[in-house]
Amino acid sequence: MSPYIQSLRLRTLPLSVAGIVLGTGLAFRLSPSAFSGRQWVIFALAVLTALCLQILSNLSNELGDALKGTDSDQHGREAYGLQTGTITVVQMKRMIALFIGLSVLFGTALIGTSFLVPAPSSDLTSSVLHSLVFLLLGALAIIGAMTYTLGRHSYGYMGLGDLGVFLFFGLLSTIGACYLVVQTVSWDVIACGTAIGLPCVGVLNLNNIRDITNDRAHGKRTLASRMGVKGGKIYHTGLLTVCMVLFIAFGHYWSLCVLPVWAWHLWFVWTHEGSQLDRQMPVLMLSTGLLACLGWA
Rounded average pLDDT over 67-71: 77
Q: How confident is the model at residue 223 (pLDDT cuts 50, 70, 90)?
A: very high
pLDDT (0 to 100) of residue 1: 55
pLDDT (0 to 100) of residue 178: 94
Domain carrying residue 136: 3-294
- Which CATH number fits the domain that encloses residue 254? 1.10.600
Could you give the number of structural domains in the chain?
Answer: 1
Residue 285 has pLDDT above 80, yes or no: yes
The percent of residues above 70 in pLDDT, for the chain, comes to 94
Are the C-beta atoms of 148 and 154 separated by less than 8 Å?
Answer: yes
Tell me which H or E stretch contains 151.
Answer: none
Are the C-beta atoms of 99 and 118 separated by less than 8 Å?
Answer: no
Rounded average pLDDT over 56-68: 88
Q: What is the pTM of this model?
A: 0.91
**Which residues, including other chains, have CB under 8 Å from residue 146's CB and lie 6 or more apart?**
56, 57, 60, 96, 100
Residue 220 has pLDDT above 90, yes or no: no
Residue 196 has pLDDT above 80, yes or no: yes
pLDDT (0 to 100) of residue 3: 75
Amino acid residing at 65: D
Residue 76 has pLDDT above 70, yes or no: no
Q: How confident is the model at residue 29 (pLDDT cuts 50, 70, 90)?
A: confident
Query: What digits encode the pLDDT tens for the residues 95-133?
Result: 999 999 999 999 999 999 998 877 665 677 888 899 999
